[in-house]
Amino acid sequence: MSRLVVAPDGSVAGYVNLEAVDPSEVVGAFGRVAPTRVRQGIGRGLVRWSRRAAAALIPVATATILRHSISAEDEAARLLLADEGFEHVRTAWHMRMALQPGYRAGEVPSGVTIRPSVEGTDDRGIWETMEAAFGTHFGFQPVGFDQWWANTRSTGAYDPSLILVAELDGSIVGASEQFIPPGERTGWVGDLGVRPGFQGRGIGRALLRHALADLSSRGLRFGQLNVDSQNQTGAVELYRSVGMRVVRTWLDLDATVDGSRPV
């Protein structure tokens, strides 16, 4: 769901997008106002629209969380959201590193094999691994297999070779999903997870290095990802250990929204 504000000259003055796995739990929002249109009330109007739109997604007499994500550098947006009743609840980091040609993946833990996924064979194992790996993470919402698979294939750039799996004794115990925005020279490590019972064995590190090596082999100059700054699994330290550095900070701000009838 999105809201777009168009200026009289036909240019985009601002927008906000809403998305939710389960609107009864949390509705995510991301919006921007064109630099030439700040201080015209557009941002406040978009924030208030997002509240009404989120309220219309849930039943009357229930409540949900509306979560706006903004750049930490956008002080005006932070003050506006605070004025509208939103509170800062979490901080995320955008991390990046340069990829040298021929970046080497290195060794893997004994008994572990890391390989590109095979469509139709590995799909359920990847989904089960990601659900288990992220189950305790901030903001996680479980997704059924069919919905996850539909979301994965609907990106428009689905490529099973960009999904790596870590296999041990014939079972998938870790996975890493990469994506490459069209026309860009920067690749993303979207999701990387290891089943809880297999964490702490170096599998995550091996997956990360293989993901970066794969991006390098495709001619990408940079590798990047987003991570919760308060991640409890050691992910931040892992990313730093391979040379990734924080290049941008994002803030999550929440407000409680009561359900209402659509208007």
Give the tens place of pLDDT for each residue, 121-140: 999 999 999 999 998 888 88
Enter the tokens of residue 91: 């901080």
Query: Mean pLDDT score of the chain, rounded to an integer?
Result: 92
Looking at 40-54, 103-117, 145-159, which range is the least confident one?
145-159
Per-residue model confidence (pLDDT) at position 8: 82
For residue range 201-226, what is the model confidence (pLDDT) as tens digits? 999 999 999 999 999 999 999 999 99
Enter the tokens of residue 101: 């040609």
Residue type present at position 99:
L
Enter the tokens of residue 190: 């979207």
- For residue 223, count other CB atoms closer than 10 A to its CB: 27
Average pLDDT over residues 148-152: 85
Per-residue model confidence (pLDDT) at position 80: 95
Per-residue model confidence (pLDDT) at position 258: 94
Per-residue model confidence (pLDDT) at position 155: 64
Average pLDDT over residues 175-182: 91
Q: At what angle do helices 123-134 and 145-153 cross, to 10 degrees?
A: 110
According to CATH, the topology of domain 100-220 is: Aminopeptidase (3.40.630)
Enter the tokens of residue 203: 């599998």
Read off the DSSP letter of residue 195: -
Distant-in-sequence contacts of 73-82, Cβ < 8 A, 24+ apart: 73/248, 73/249, 76/38, 76/43, 77/43, 78/251, 78/253, 80/43, 80/44, 80/47, 81/47, 81/253, 81/255, 82/253
Q: pLDDT at residue 23 above 80?
A: yes
Q: pLDDT at residue 156 above 80?
A: no
Per-residue model confidence (pLDDT) at position 38: 87
pLDDT band at 262 (very low <50, low <70, confident <90, very high): low
Positions of CATH 3.40.630.30 in the chain: 2-92+250-258, 100-220
Q: pLDDT at residue 263 above 60?
A: no
Q: pLDDT at residue 21 above 70?
A: yes
Average pLDDT over residues 50-70: 95
According to CATH, the topology of domain 2-92+250-258 is: Aminopeptidase (3.40.630)
Average pLDDT over residues 59-63: 92
